[in-house]
Structure 1
Amino acid sequence: MDHLFTVAGRTATPISRTGLAAESLLERQHLQEWVIAHPQVLGESVLVITAEYDRWADTDGVPARDRLDVLGLDATGRLVVVELKRGTADRDVHLQAITYAALVSRFDLDTLAQAHRGFLSRRGQALGIDVCRQRLLDHVDGEWSPELLQRPRQVIIAADFPKQVTHSVVWLSEMGLDIDLVQVGLWRVEGSVVAGFTKVYPTPEVEEFTLAPARVEGEAAAKKLQERSRSRNAVHVLVGAGLLPDGARLLMTPRHGVTEAIRAEIRSWVEQDPARAAATWTNDTAKPLVWDADGASYSPTGLANHIFTSVTGRSVDGIQGTTWWDVDTTQVPADVDPGEWATLAGTDLAALARQLNGARKDWSGLHTLLDGVPAGRWTTYGDVATIIGSHAVPVGRHLGTCGRCPNAWRVLTATGKVSPGFQWTDTSRTDTAASVLRDEGVRFDGETADPGQRLSEDDLRQLLDG
């Protein structure tokens, strides 16, 4: 963001650039706190584990003097090492980041949980070590991987980078290290200071179209990382896609991480109190499940671990809790078509997230597609969802409440009927979607639209291409 302007109609006025030093803003007290408060500047789904970490020692037990600015954990299970500079980065800043990455690559779950506990304690949050361990496990959906911990990602944030740093980072990336350069800029806007973070390397084009060669000994970890990166934390995917409305009911079927003998124990335990096998979904990325048995909120993995411990008396690591919870399709939310809701039967949260393939609640593609659906034709929620990479349920829910969606009445259920959840956003309208479709030339047999006037997936693709 080299050039920013305030605009008023045809007039664009440049915004003056400033800097942290010019505004008397400091590295630790200010820049570091911004990053901790908004870890999205480090990448997607990063949990801050600790900051200003210096509790390492050499082989003689002598404390080291190095201080790591910020340490995070992303949803794939990789550590994120953050080095901050409020001005132009030093010529050897990448060497500092590599040193910290080497140090933290030896950390295990207990070390990280202890560091997280100390970090939270310094900020007035007194949490037990077991709670901190669970927070880390929840963040990676129970899939803790020592191999990925050994391959930290490094993020260097500075106002600018000398060429020695950029050239070195490009070469190191080609050699298999994962280093991001993020530029922080400040501007003065109408008496306020505005901060912006821009990822200058690798650019999205580099990330998408190039692949750094990995060393032979790191191929297994690199492959695992690639797989985990494709399927982000399932909860984040589901919340981002808007698949499940608040209040959706879930039922437990223990799967990943337990033996058949333990499954039998869990079933017997549930028979004593059926509420133990049910939960309610809320669109909270941290703790989306409200357990019927105690009314408390949990992550899917946190609740699975809690159930495992309650039944066996033992703690466990490595359960992927999103595989334990299925949508209860016998209870249909008010704003969802029963037929589309039924398609979720027998599929756990992890599988639903994989089906969505990382879809998010960005409906611009949907609006573009629907704008091309002509009068006298209709299509289905499922076909539209397939084209835009979503699912019929969130598409239907969106169309039922969106005031900007063109031709929303031309999207019907898989059986060719108007969805029970469809409603005009203009509450003064008294006509029905079916009557509008009839006026546009769509023929109906009772409540069912003529299949011959339906636009298929191929037809919809042609609309986009044309």
Structure 2
Amino acid sequence: MDHLFTVDGRTATPISRTGLAAESLLERQHLQEWVIAHPQVLGESVLVITAEYDRWADTDGVPARDRLDVLGLDATGRLVVVELKRGAADRDVHLQAITYAALVSRFDLDTLTQAHRDFLSRRGEVLDVDACRQRLLGHVDGEWSPELLQRPRQVIIAADFPKQVTHCVVWLSEMGLDIDLVQVGLWRVEGHLVAGFTKVYPTPEVEEFTLAPARVEGEAAAKKLQERSRSRNAVHVLVGAGLLPDGTRLLMTPRHGVTEALRTEIRSWVAEGTGRAAATWTNDTAKPLVWDADGGSYSPTGLANHIFTSVTGRTADGIQGTTWWDVDTAHVPADVDPEAWATLGGTDLTGLARQLSGARKDWTGLHALLGALPAGRWTTYGDLAGAIGSHAVPIGRHLGTCGQCPNPWRVLTVAGRVSPGFQWPDTSRTDTVADVLSAEGVLFDGETADPDQRLREDGLRRLLDG
């Protein structure tokens, strides 16, 4: 973050940048504790296993002096090796990270369980070995994979990175190593210190279009990681966009990772038990599916793997579970427009996430667009969604609960009718939407607004541009 300001209306005042050393903040006592308390700076869904780990030994049993700052485990089943520098990184910091990655790549579940138990004990939390083991197993999306443990991801956090480091990290990434560079900044704002963590490499575009294809080609472990990552990314997109309300019904159709013959076996197995074909969605990025068959919470891939193993007796390998689940559009949530809900039919969770990639529950643009929507015109939930890059369902849900949206009565269904779920924010109002729109100049044929007065997506975009 190059420039940071405090803002008061039209006035923007620069904020002075400082540093950890200048503020007498230390690497271990401060920066490391921030990372442990907020592991999201390391990526999505990282569990901190240990810190200050130094229990290595060479072949003669002589302890090594190397000390790993932080070791985490992400939900795809990969270890995350973290190297911290409170100032500018050393020219060979990436070599340190690679060394630690090589050392931990030989760890197994027992080693990690003991390390996690010792870490928690030092911090005053007492868990037995079995509880620690279950915490690690439960954090992973799918089956525990020793192959993925051998491919740790590395995260280097520093105030700045010399060109020698960035050049080497780019090349190492192209050669198949996963190394993230995260810049930590510190600012003094009105007597308070504000810390910021910014991922400077790889950017999402570099990761998706340059690095990922090279990493996955021809490698079974990387293929498994790719499928798990795709499923996890789909879940995060859906939760972030607010597409599916809690309680959404999902139906299973086995697709990715199984043959047609096996799909037939799975369908037969599903028909033999109550609730095996259905699940309920919750907006939990880790385990969003509650399976009807046992009431347990699963990730989409975790549940697909569980079903695969129940049918075949074998461990699944590389299933992308979000392709197995479709929205049951016959069950319409109470706060959703039925017409908008029907558009979700025929597309699995992966497909829905692909449509929504980049959408977030930031309604600033929506509010601005609604405020610019002129009297005598109306639009639809779908038109609004297209203009701001969302979907009609979260648009409708937001309008129904916000209470601060400008001109919500000017948004109708695609048929030009008032949504059955529309309610005035002021519950004491007795006039109807049609009354208000008619007074503003919108013509009605019965309950249907004049389609010529509809402001479509391209017109809404022009409002935003203007």
TM-score class normalised by the smaller sequence? 0.7 to 0.9
Tell me: CA distance 1:132–1:319, structure 2 relative to 1, closer, same or farther (3 Å): farther
Q: Secondary structure at the match of 1:353?
A: helix
Contact 1:335–1:420 at 8 Å: present in 2 too?
no
The structural deviation recorded for 1:329 is 0.8
CA distance in 1, matches of 2:27, 2:168: 26
The structural deviation recorded for 1:27 is 3.8
Q: Secondary structure at the match of 2:140?
A: helix
The structural deviation recorded for 1:335 is 0.4
The structural deviation recorded for 1:397 is 0.4
CA deviations over 1:64-90 (Å, ceiling 9, x no partner) = 442322234567887543111345644
CA distance in 1, matches of 2:267, 2:218: 36
Aligned length, in residue pairs = 449
CA distance in 1, matches of 2:98, 2:452: 63
Tell me: CA distance 1:38–1:336, structure 2 relative to 1, closer, same or farther (3 Å): same
The structural deviation recorded for 1:250 is 1.1
CA distance in 2, matches of 1:16, 1:174: 28
Matched, 1:170 2:169: no
Alignment of 1:306-455 (within 5 A): 306-455=306-455
CA deviations over 1:326-371 (Å, ceiling 9, x no partner) = 1111111000011111111122112111111131111112122222
CA distance in 2, matches of 1:285, 1:337: 25
Q: In the alignment, which residue of structure 2 is the partner of 1:198?
A: 197
Q: Secondary structure at the match of 2:362?
A: coil
Tell me: CA distance 1:260–1:336, structure 2 relative to 1, closer, same or farther (3 Å): same
Could you tell me which of 112, 117, 124 is aligned with 1:121? 117
What amino acid is aligned across from residue 198 of structure 1 in structure 2?
A: F
TM-score, normalising length: structure 2: 0.80
Q: In the alignment, which residue of structure 2 is the partner of 1:240?
A: 240
Contact 2:108–2:146 at 8 Å: present in 1 too?
no
CA deviations over 1:147-198 (Å, ceiling 9, x no partner) = 99758343223xx44xxx42222322453544414225375976xx745133
Tell me: CA distance 1:390–1:45, structure 2 relative to 1, closer, same or farther (3 Å): farther
Q: In the alignment, which residue of structure 2 is the partner of 1:154?
A: 155
What amino acid is aligned across from residue 196 of structure 1 in structure 2?
A: A
CA distance in 2, matches of 1:48, 1:88: 24
| Comparing 275-284 and 193-202, the one that deviates more | 193-202
The structural deviation recorded for 1:305 is 2.0
Tell me: CA distance 1:172–1:103, structure 2 relative to 1, closer, same or farther (3 Å): same
CA distance in 1, matches of 2:352, 2:331: 18
Q: Secondary structure at the match of 1:71?
A: strand
CA distance in 2, matches of 1:29, 1:78: 26
Contact 1:276–1:292 at 8 Å: present in 2 too?
yes
Q: In the alignment, which residue of structure 1 is the partner of 2:42?
A: 42
The structural deviation recorded for 1:129 is 5.2
Q: Secondary structure at the match of 2:275?
A: helix
Q: In the alignment, which residue of structure 2 is the partner of 1:259?
A: 259
CA distance in 1, matches of 2:90, 2:356: 43
Q: In the alignment, which residue of structure 1 is the partner of 2:181?
A: 180
Q: In the alignment, which residue of structure 1 is the partner of 2:123?
A: none
Q: In the alignment, which residue of structure 2 is the partner of 1:99?
A: 99
Tell me: CA distance 1:370–1:219, structure 2 relative to 1, closer, same or farther (3 Å): same
Q: Report percent identity of matched pairs.
A: 65
What amino acid is aligned across from residue 298 of structure 1 in structure 2?
A: Y
Tell me: CA distance 1:230–1:84, structure 2 relative to 1, closer, same or farther (3 Å): same
Tell me: CA distance 1:240–1:6, structure 2 relative to 1, closer, same or farther (3 Å): closer
Tell me: CA distance 1:214–1:243, structure 2 relative to 1, closer, same or farther (3 Å): closer
What amino acid is aligned across from residue 304 of structure 1 in structure 2?
A: A
What amino acid is aligned across from residue 302 of structure 2 in structure 1?
A: G
What amino acid is aligned across from residue 348 of structure 2 in structure 1?
A: D
CA deviations over 1:286-321 (Å, ceiling 9, x no partner) = 111112222222211222222222333333232222
Give the unaligned 5+ runs of structure 2.
121-125, 174-178
Tell me: CA distance 1:298–1:152, structure 2 relative to 1, closer, same or farther (3 Å): closer
Contact 1:47–1:74 at 8 Å: present in 2 too?
yes
Contact 1:381–1:411 at 8 Å: present in 2 too?
yes
The structural deviation recorded for 1:97 is 2.3
**Aligned-residue CA RMSD in angstroms?**
4.1
